[in-house]
Every structure is written in C-alpha cells, then in structure tokens.
Amino acid sequence: MTEVRMADTNPPWEGLDGSDRHAACMVAARHGNRKALDVLVAELTPLVWHVARGNGLDKASAEDVVQTVWLALLRHVDRLTEPKALVGWLITTTRRESYRARQNGTAQVELSTELAEQVLSRDPMPEAEALREERDQDLWIAFSRLPRRCQELLRLTVLAGRAEYQAVSEALRMPRGSIGPTRGRCLNTLRTLLSDDEGDVP
C-alpha cells in the first residue's frame, strides 16, 4: 500500500517535458495507471482536435474523431513499441480517422420547428453576433490564404492553447528551435492579409 501511495505522490512523469513526459505516461498507462492516461488526454487532446479540424472536419465530426482516436490508443496501448513515438501515432491516426469521417459523412438530426421554439437561446444579441461573425469570417478567410505549413503550425501552437513545441516539432517534422520564429512570421503574414482585406473595404 505504501508503494502505491508513493507512486501516486511521485508519478514517473513528474518533472519531465515533451516526448519524455508522454513516454513516461505511456509506460505507466500500460501498467494500469489511469492517472497517466488522464494526463495524456488532457495534454494531447488539443493537438488531436486541431489535426482533425485541420483536415476539414466540422466541430461535431472532429469531436467524434477525437473520441475514436483515444479509444484506438486504449486498444493499442500495448502495441506501441516506442512510447516516444506517441505524438506521431496520434497525428497519423487522427488524419486517417478524419479521412474516414469525410468519406462517410455525418448525419445531422434537426429539431422540429415546435421543439426548436421551446429551446431557450443563449446566443448574444443579433447586432453583437453579426459583428462577431463578420470578424471571424474575415479572420478565417485570411487564415485560409496562408500557406498550408503556416496553417498547420498556427493550429498547433496558437489555436490548441499552450504550445508544446516538442509535440509540434514531431508533428511537423521541423527543428524545435525554428518553431517560434516561423510562427512569428506566419502571424505577421496573417496580420498583413487581414490589413489588406480591411483596406479593400470601400
């Protein structure tokens, strides 16, 4: 019992970063440590999510793919021979599942008019919503005009929240030290595209 408590108090991934941390969690998960799996899900779900979205899925389909990918990991947790290759495995699996989702399509079940009228709306006022939609639309139009490499990099380092550069390095196969400067150039390009679009408005 004392050994179990010590393992919970000082988990093997504590103090580690990047692929070393995830590898330690993978090894612990193989031995039945549920907390290790929780750490992986918490830290790498944003990565999986934005890979799915970056492969053209809508929000609902991306959520389904995220769940499928983590279930696949649970099924194959003993087969991943190199724990440090986890990020690459997640990205490859997410891309494959995203392709399947696009091929299969998703069925949308719509509410009847009667039921829809009974649902309380939590949406903002129409004027504010219109401004927000216009701003978001301009942003995504500019984003879509970026080179694909920039889109992938910004999805993984900005949209996914806290940047885990080691994971991004593995995902995009680029030196870790070049991620920050490249991200800065991509953001500058995005700002320029937004400014150009605003200047075109009469």
Position 164 scores a pLDDT of: 64
Position 18 scores a pLDDT of: 77
Position 160 scores a pLDDT of: 54
* Torsion angle, alpha carbons of 49, 54, 55, 61, to 10: 40
Position 8 scores a pLDDT of: 52
**At how many degrees (to 10) do helices 34-54 and 59-76 cross?**
140
**C-alpha distance from residue 110 to each of 44, 102, 104, 107, 140 (Å):** 32, 20, 19, 10, 26
What CA–CA distance (Å, rounded) separates 179 from 165?
Answer: 7
Q: What is the pLDDT of residues 86-132, one digit of tens each?
A: 888 888 899 899 989 888 864 333 434 443 444 444 445 455 545 55
**Residue pLDDT tens, the chain, 202 long:** 334 433 456 788 888 877 788 889 999 988 888 899 898 998 888 888 888 888 888 888 989 999 999 999 888 888 887 887 888 888 889 989 998 988 886 433 343 444 344 444 444 545 554 555 677 778 888 888 889 888 888 887 775 555 567 777 777 778 888 988 998 999 999 999 888 766 554 4
Position 142 scores a pLDDT of: 87
Which residue is associated with the tokens 């219109």?
130
